[in-house]
Amino acid sequence: EPAEFLAGGQIPIPLAIGFGQTSVIFKDFGIRLKFSPVADDRNNVSLKIFTEISNIDPSLTVGGVPGFFTSRTQEEINLKNGETLVMSGLIDHSLSQNSNKIPGLGNIPILGYLFKSDDFRNNESDLVFLVTPQVITTNSLENIDAESHARYLENMYNRNSDQGIIR
């Protein structure tokens, strides 16, 4: 089964749809991973991995809508059933500055520094993934358990509907 992961968030973006009307769409940002596995007849797994890191870039703002800085990569690796892949180096780095001041007093030359504060933040995160593909065949224990449970539920449904409990 394909899998997808996003460590980040969404930002609302207004979209003009005509006649002065606007709609809002949400754009994802952060670290996104997509996995697409394909198993062969010997239970080896070919795993396509799509990686995208995107950050909001306020320097590219157009009409109040921020731009994005994005980097992408795609690769394919082969694993044996049950082998573990370790992925690291998915680094997200952001700098921010926030200034607070007392209105009026914070604007006075030289003395204004006594009435304001600056907050600088340097955030860095490194995401580590452990991926272990598990091939489930029609004869595997997991599949047999799921099939027997499905048959049990179907029998319970049929028995209860025959007795008029379920309509």
In angstroms and rounded to an integer, the radius of gyration of the C-alpha atoms of the chain is 27
The full set of domain ranges for the chain reads 3-90+125-134, 136-167
Q: Phi and psi for 68 in degrees, rounded to 5?
A: -130, 145
> How many whole angstroms separate alpha carbon 49 and alpha carbon 34?
6
Half-sphere exposure of 121 (CA within 13 A, CB side): 9
The structure tokens listed for 155 are: 């029998």
Q: From CA 49, how far away is CA 53, in angstroms rounded?
A: 13
DSSP the chain: --EEEEEEEEEEEEEEEETTEEEEEEEEEEEEEEEEEEE-TTSEEEEEEEEEEEEEEEEEEETTEEEEEEEEEEEEEEEETT--EEEEEEEEEEEEEEEEE-TTGGGSTTGGGGGEEEEEEEEEEEEEEEE------TTSHHHHHHHHHHHHHHHHHHHHHHTTS--
pLDDT number for residue 163: 65
Instruction: Per residue of the chain (167 residues), give pLDDT as tens.
Output: 889 999 889 999 888 888 888 889 999 998 899 999 999 988 899 999 999 988 888 888 887 888 898 889 999 999 998 899 988 877 767 777 788 889 988 888 888 888 888 888 887 877 788 888 888 776 666 666 767 777 878 887 787 776 655 54
